[in-house]
Amino acid sequence: MNFNTINETQFQFPGQVNLYKGKVRDVYNINNKYLVMVASDRISAFDHILPRAIPFKGQVLNGIATHFMELTKDLVPNWIMDTPDPNVTVGKLCEPIKLEMVIRGYLSGHAWRQYKDGHRMLCGVEMPDGMKESDKFPEPIITPATKADEGHDMDISREEILAQGIVDEKTWNKLEEYTRALYKFGHEKAMERGLILVDTKYEFGFHEGEIILMDEIHTPDSSRYFYADTYQDLQDKSVPQKQLSKEFVRQWLIEQGFMGLEGQTMPTMPDEFVKEISDRYIDLYEQITGKKFVRFDSDNRSAQIESRVKASLEKIGV
């Protein structure tokens, strides 16, 4: 594969205070007022960064997140100010709320793994008996996780969140309201495109006392999608759903004997699997947005990003 990937960045922007490297994003603090978020082509699973970057993955993530932030900005306020490059978003610096607001409309992924092990409570929420994998819940359930700086995010209940003082009840109620509204919107938009938004997560923060939506939304890194046209037939036959999500990467790793546990060796992804991942990300972009994906590739991506970000920062007065 000859495409150039953005594996990591080391820019020095005007007003730069620090650089935080997440699993996928490189986040630059500008004057403790703004953030420059660069979506790299890194991919993570089981809270580990995989050795090989995926061509165009960052562009896909940034493009989908920007698409949905724009569509939902009147529903929930968000952090975005500018998107100067296909891999970059510039926005307001927020005080993060240390929670991932996970919402599940269907029994899949982590919830299914818990369910088949006999558990009927997840994050203090009861899951009905008699369900099979990928069945729709009577109502979407919110199953929060603590947001870890390193290592594994941990399931947590509403009661534990309030008891630990992570947020107060008024803030929790607003987070729940926003989470349900965003999921309802995302599910409806997905259905219009022939997809089902199975589950997803949202992250929020405070900006000048207001709760606002941060990070990415409805991307394949934060969400799981099924194909709507084959959903019921596959359920009736008890056949696994075809997914547009990162779950197939996790399944491949599991088949190679890796689940991120101590003593396990991370397998090396062959070229053909890296290409398959890239193609699946691009497929999701086109499916969910209805837009044709334009591959943005060049030998000087780093210089392009740097010049575009500097122009954006100058425009907002940095």
By percentage, how much of the chain surpasses pLDDT 90?
A: 85
Q: Please check whether residue 291 lies inside any domain of the structure.
A: no
Find out whether 59 and 296 touch, Cβ atoms under 8 Å: yes
Range of the domain at 104: 96-245
The arithmetic mean of pLDDT across residues 200-222, rounded, is 94
114 within some domain: yes
Range with the largest mean pLDDT of 17-21, 221-225, 294-298: 17-21
Q: Does residue 137 form part of some domain?
A: yes
**Which residue matches tokens 């932030």?**
69
pTM: 0.89
Cα distances (angstroms) measured from residue 11 to each of 45, 249, 307: 26, 30, 10
Please count the structural domains in the chain.
1
224 within some domain: yes
**Mean model confidence pLDDT for the chain:** 94
Residue at 20 is within a domain: no
In a domain, 210, yes or no: yes
- Residues 33-78 have pLDDT tens digits of 999 999 999 999 888 999 999 999 999 999 999 999 999 999 999 9
CA 121 to chain centre: 24
If one counts every other C-beta atom within 10 angstroms of the C-beta of residue 317, the result is 9
Q: Give residue-wise pLDDT tens across range 263-315.
A: 999 999 999 999 999 998 898 899 899 999 999 887 788 999 999 999 999 99
Distance of CA 249 to the CA centre of its chain: 15
Two structure tokens written together for 4: 């150039």
Distance from C-alpha of 166 to C-alpha of 141, rounded to nearest angstrom: 20
pLDDT in tens, 126-138: 999 999 999 999 9
Distance between CA atoms of residues 68 and 83, nearest Å: 13
pLDDT band at 2 (very low <50, low <70, confident <90, very high): low
- CATH of residue 150: 3.30.470.20
